[in-house]
Structures are given as C-alpha cells and as structure tokens.
Structure 1
Amino acid sequence: GLRIGIPVTEYDRVNFGLAAERLTVNTYKGAPKRYADFINQYGKGDGSGVGSFKGWLYKGTIGWGRNKTDNALWPTRGYLTGVNGEIALPGSDLQYYTLTHNQTWFFPLSKDFTLMLGGEVGYGNGYGKTKTMPFFENFYGGGLGSVRGFESGTLGPKVYDEYGEKISYGGNKKANVSAELLFPMPGIKDSRTVRLSLFADAGSVWDGKTYNDGSSSNSNGVSQNVYGVGTTHKSTFKNELRYSAGAAVTWLSPLGPMKFSYAYPIKKKEGDEIQRFQFQLGTTF
C-alpha cells in the first residue's frame, strides 16, 4: 500500500491512499452463525459454515483533517476535526465502503480548567455484489475513545456460539459523544506532565438487524439467546445506547502518553461486558 498526506494550509491536511490486500478468512466447526453465513455466501465451504474465503481487496482511502488547537499535547482551546472514507474498489472480491467523521472542541474555563467536547459518527455498507458489510470490517465500541466502563469492542448486538461464548458482532453504524473536564493534579508543581479529568461518555453501535433464538448457535440442540430465549431484540441506536461517567489521569511518561480511567456504567443491560478500569498508551485525549 501507499499513503500520502499533503498539508494544504497551516491547519489542514489531505490524505490519500491505495492498497492491495490479499485476504484469507478461515472458519471452523463451532464458528458463530454470521461468520459461517459469510463463508457460505462468499467463500467455499461444506454448507455448514466450515470453509474459507480467499480474495483480493483493492482499497482506496481519502481523508481531510484540520487542527486548530493551541497545543499538540495539552490543548486548552481550539478544535480538531476530520472526515475519512475507505472503499474496496470495483474489481475487489468484496465491495464495501466506510465513512467516518470526528470532532473535538476545547474551551478554556479558567487558567487551570478546560472543557473538552467530542464526538464521532460512522457508517458503512456493502455495494455491488456485496450486499452487507463484511463482519470483520464492522465498527466496534466500548473502552477508551468510545464509552469507557464497557469492555473494548463489546458494544452493539451480541450472540452465543455453540459453546456458550458471547460474541459481539459490532455494527455498520456508530455514534459516540464525550464531555471531559480537564485540570492539573493538585499538589503537583510540574503540571505539564500529569493531568486529571472528569468525564461522561455516551455511544451506540448498531446494525438495524433483528436478533432472536435463531441468531445464536444452538448448544447441544438447545436454543440460546443473549437477550433471553423467546425474546426478540432489534439492534437500533436507542436499544444499543450506553452511558458512563468517571475520572481519568493522563501522564506524559518517558514511554509516551498514558491514560488511565475508572468509569461507572450509568446505563447498562444484562449481557453487557463491564470493565471499569482501563488503560491506553499513545494518546493524551
């Protein structure tokens, strides 16, 4: 692949990319139903979902980003915004596209306190001979950068495999917002390396599909359903929406920026995978 970024103004940058990808997806006995359905539809299998898909993807990407913050590490005013698109071009063995938009604003409330407001939306779908998004290209949510307090990648619709393990499918649509109050750690003279914050997150990942007893694999011939046997669940923005609130500390360590957070899930449902303490390396906000 080849990716090029071109600065067009002091604040704006445009990115382009082209890549060729040889993809192999293998499934085995006990694979979740959607994985098996993908093999049966696009790959070579024995009809039960055991098999493989092999193909070429020719990917094109384009994006635009603007950074008008006053500091690369500890911004107190300004904003970041970006729009990005990716497409598996005609001629690929799978054809799909994704579009995302993100926005983050910083407002100085006083010398020490900064309010950060941010959000992201995303949409993807298949086109041409590919009717829906391939399951491995779905959006996922939960954790730092999404809704803290929920385990990373677990928001959205869920099913059981035949062994009773919970599988998060993700979705072709996502939306999340966050509000965070940033301030120095009390008693620390050098406030340029450590910062505290209080935050509230909300987000959803959904695909618009309906889930019932037939969506999960049977276990020894017995029906399974994450949402309760005999129950129907429609994966919509509202039904998959989750909230949380908590506190975080960011440290500019010698190894790079580190962020630690502890979140309490305010809106959660049975079947959600909770992870209150979370850690991230490589980003400050």
Structure 2
Amino acid sequence: KKVGERLGNEGYAFANVNTIPQVNDENRTVDLTFLVDPGRRVYVRRINFQGNAKTQDEVLRREMRQAEGAWYSTKDLDRSKTRLQRLDYLESVNVDTAAAPGTNDQVDVNYTLVERPSGSLLFGIGYGQESGLLLNASVTQNNFLGTGNQMSLVLNNSDIGANYSLAYNNPYYTIDGVSRGFRIYYQNIDAAQVNTADYVLNNYGGQVSFGFPLNEFDTLLILPGYDHIRIDTTASTPVEIMDYINQNGDTFDAFKLDGSWARDSRNRTIFPTSGALNQITAEFAVPGSDAEYYKLNYRGIFYYPLTRWMTWTVSGEIGYGDGYGNTDGLPFFENFYAGGLRSVRGYKTNTLGPRYSNNEPSGGAFKTIASTQFILPVPFMEKSENVRVAAFFDAGNVFATTSDFDAGELRYSTGIAGLWISPLGPIVLSVAAPLNDKSGDETEAFQFSFGVPFN
C-alpha cells in the first residue's frame, strides 16, 4: 500500500503493486517479492465539479491543492478532498479519477458534491436551561450568494436578556487566503439568570478580524476591537461586587487587541471523525482602558476513529486571567465559570467553584476542564450525518487563582449525550450522574437546550 501511495504521489496514477510470498517451512520465514508496474506517469488535465448548484466554481477551486497541468499526486488530491469536506456548506464529497479521452498520459479528476442548506431564516421560540425562553429572529448564511462568505444577523430575547449582533466574514479577502471580517453587537444580560451573581451587564461594541494562514493547518487570527460595559446592581448584588464598583466605578471602556492561533487537522468541521483541533486564544485590554487585564485560554480536542461508526474523542481546556497596570486581578465580569452542557455536565450551569459571601457563584481566574467521549452508532438510523450520540466522562472546576488549584476539588461526571442538527436549530440532550458531588454543589441530572447555539 505504501509503495502504491508513493508512486501515486509521483504521478503514477495507475500503478499496480502485487506481492508474491515464498514460504520457507524449514526456517519458518517468508520471503516477499514485490512486483511493481508503475504504468505511465500522468498529468491532471482537468478538475471538474458536479453538484454545486449554488456554490461558485471559484470557491471550490481555491481549496484545491492539486493543480491542473501538474503531475498527478494522490497526496494533493486527498488533501483537496479534505479541504472541501471542511466547508460547512458541503454535506458530502466524493472524488474519482478517469483517463482523459484520446490520451495515455493525462487524467481528469471529478468531484461529486452534495450541498447542504447553508442559510437559515428563523423566527421562532426556543428553550434552554441556560437561556430560558428564547424569542429568536435570525438570518445566517454560511455561503452568501455562493461566494463562501459568512453573514449573520441575530436578534434574540430571552430570560437572560437581549443579544443583538451583525457579523460578516470573507475567508478569502486576498487570493492567498487572508480573511477579513467584522462584528458589531449589543447585549443586556441578567447574570442571575445564568446562575451567577445578581447584577445586570450591559455592553456594546465592535470588532474586526484578520486571519492569516501560516501553512496548511495553522491559522493566526488578530481581532482589534472596542467594548463598552455598564454594570447595574440590585438590592441582592453581593457586597464584593458593590465594593468593586465603589472603587472602580460602574462603567468601563476597553480597547481590546485579541488574537488566536489554531492548528486544525480535522477531516471536517461538523461532526469530525479524525484529526485534532488545538487553539490558543488571548484577550488583551490595552493600556489606557478603564480595566487593564488579559485572559489566556487553551482548548484541544482530538478525534480517534475506532470503526466506521465509532470515534473516541479526548478534549481539554485551561484558562487563566489577571489584571495588570492599575487593575488588581481579573475584573469579576470577566471571570471563568464551569458546570453545565459546555463543561462539566451533571452540575448546574456556572455553579462550580468559588462563591461570594451570599453563596452566589463567583467564578474564578483559573479554569481547567477535561472530557473524553465515545461516539456511538445511532440505533435504528442508517443515515445519521446530523445526529450524534456519545457516552462521556467529564472533569473540571474553576478556582479563584492558580495558587488555589486543588486536584481534590475537581468534579467528575459521566453519562450519555445527544446532539441533533435539526432544521430549526441544534437540540442538545444530556443525562449525567455526578460522581463526587459535595455539600453545596448544585447538581442537575438532565440538561437540554433547544434552538440555542452549542459548541
């Protein structure tokens, strides 16, 4: 197989490799003779696409690593197929190679595509244990006018509060794959509704983004922006927050320079089965901001295919933040939280870790999460591209600072989870059993979210 692959990478598309074994019973050895017929070295004449009713031909060709007029390369063809599979607006990709008519040293490469709906226009109602009742109006398009550009307009109101945003991104702002985008937003969040302290966070701002591909797998993202925050208190606001506001005020303007590095070798972005995603993100409020702070976060997830229908995943996340300059410690409204569908399932959302003097969760400046999952076949379903069921084990917690980390305070849980990418939005279900909950922990065996985005 490796010999055939090597020949394929050198342009021998129709190489034939056979093995003839010769058994020596006396010495208990086997001699292997390889018969190699490389065939004729061939060029790629044309690359053809079928099934792209909406997506422009140029959008597909820019993902190609195999060039027309170049020597045939199995490696480049496989990488081209993977890059197409990673486009959110393609459901399936198949490729075949055929000899070009009338020639003996040229081939045509034919990609057969199935497009998935790339846009949605939603007016409806959702519900999640994190967000409560959700009134949703949104327009999203991951393949705007067939260009591959992403656009979204979101108008959400829920028990948590309001969330309005407009975003646009061009993944090929330059021919070399440099991306450019922008996002403007407004949020009004009742923190008590997400199981944290009793205060209201109002913020609005904007951000532009520039993405730079460093190589085939690595991307650097730079995101300068501005964020305006106002904190409204209530009679039940913890005294620690009141003291912070008395010392620092209730309004904060932050000029931010965020960034991230990602190495992505997954075979697809929706329900991958092999590869890995490693990502480091940094948030930095530049000097002169009302609150000067930084946050660093690492997240990694690794996919190991066990069979055609089963995949093992291992993931981990670690986050840390602190103040600098005139700011002592990470501002309370930037704390990390743990517990719930996005971290340690089986515990109520955001309730793990330190608490204020009134026993409301405060979050912390240091977060550590780990999880492993066995993705299982979906019973009674022959086609399950949009459904995933997994058995999981979660661990993690948040701590006030790194010096407060105590492995004995990590919380564990296990259970079964399901995710369905339905036409109305993602539906997430989890049934979990906490394994070492302690007095004061808030547990929740059944957790779900409907019509609410989930990562």
What TM-score results when the alignment is normalised by the length of structure 2?
0.52
Match of 2:370 among 163, 173, 177: 177
**How far apart are residue 251 of structure 1 and its match?**
1.2
Match of 2:302 among 82, 105, 109: 105
**How far apart are residue 239 of structure 1 and its match?**
4.9
Taking the aligned partners of 2:238 and 2:333, their CA distance within structure 1 comes to 12
Confirm whether residue 261 of structure 1 aligns to residue 430 of structure 2.
yes
Could you report, residue by residue, the CA deviation over 1:4-57 in whole angstroms, capped at 9, with x for unpaired residues?
1324133332211122222222334442021012012212xxxxxxxxx22321
Could you report, residue by residue, the CA deviation over 1:189-208 in whole angstroms, capped at 9, with x for unpaired residues?
11223221100000010014
Letter in 1 for 2:374: L
1:37 paired residue number: 243
Taking the aligned partners of 2:426 and 2:236, their CA distance within structure 1 comes to 40
Letter in 2 for 1:152: T
The residue matched to 1:269 in structure 2 has which SS? Answer: coil
Higher relative contact order, chain-length normalized (CA < 8 Å, sep 6+): 1
The residue matched to 2:356 in structure 1 has which SS? Answer: strand
8 Å CA contact 2:239–2:357 kept in 1: the answer is no
**How far apart are residue 279 of structure 1 and its match?**
2.2
Letter in 2 for 1:62: G
2:208 paired residue number: 3
Taking the aligned partners of 2:270 and 2:222, their CA distance within structure 1 comes to 26
Map 1:21-60 → 2, pairs under 5 A? 21-43=227-249, 53-60=250-257
**How far apart are residue 152 of structure 1 and its match?**
1.0
Confirm whether residue 282 of structure 1 aligns to residue 282 of structure 2.
no
8 Å CA contact 1:157–1:240 kept in 2: the answer is no
8 Å CA contact 1:27–1:39 kept in 2: the answer is no
Taking the aligned partners of 1:15 and 1:271, their CA distance within structure 2 comes to 41
The residue matched to 2:256 in structure 1 has which SS? Answer: strand
1:250 paired residue number: 419
**How far apart are residue 235 of structure 1 and its match?**
4.8
Taking only aligned residues, the RMSD between alpha carbons, in angstroms, comes to 1.9
**How far apart are residue 269 of structure 1 and its match?**
0.9
Taking the aligned partners of 1:138 and 1:205, their CA distance within structure 2 comes to 9
Map 1:1-285 → 2, pairs under 5 A? 1-8=206-213, 9-43=215-249, 53-161=250-358, 166-208=359-401, 235-280=404-449, 281-283=452-454
**Where does the alignment leave 5 or more consecutive residues of structure 2 unmatched?**
1-205
8 Å CA contact 2:336–2:367 kept in 1: the answer is yes
8 Å CA contact 1:205–1:240 kept in 2: the answer is no
Shift in alpha-carbon separation, 1:143–1:30, aligned structure 2, 3 A: closer
8 Å CA contact 2:375–2:388 kept in 1: the answer is yes
Taking the aligned partners of 2:380 and 2:292, their CA distance within structure 1 comes to 55
> Quick check: which has more Rg, 1 or 2?
2
Between 1:77-86 and 1:258-267, the stretch displaced more is 258-267
What TM-score results when the alignment is normalised by the length of structure 1?
0.81
**How far apart are residue 237 of structure 1 and its match?**
3.3
Taking the aligned partners of 1:195 and 1:93, their CA distance within structure 2 comes to 44
**Where does the alignment leave 5 or more consecutive residues of structure 1 unmatched?**
44-52, 210-233
Could you report, residue by residue, the CA deviation over 1:109-166 in whole angstroms, capped at 9, with x for unpaired residues?
11221100000000000111111111110000111221000111111112353xxxx4
| 4+ residue runs over 4 A deviation | none
Taking the aligned partners of 1:208 and 1:7, their CA distance within structure 2 comes to 33
8 Å CA contact 2:222–2:258 kept in 1: the answer is yes
8 Å CA contact 2:209–2:224 kept in 1: the answer is no
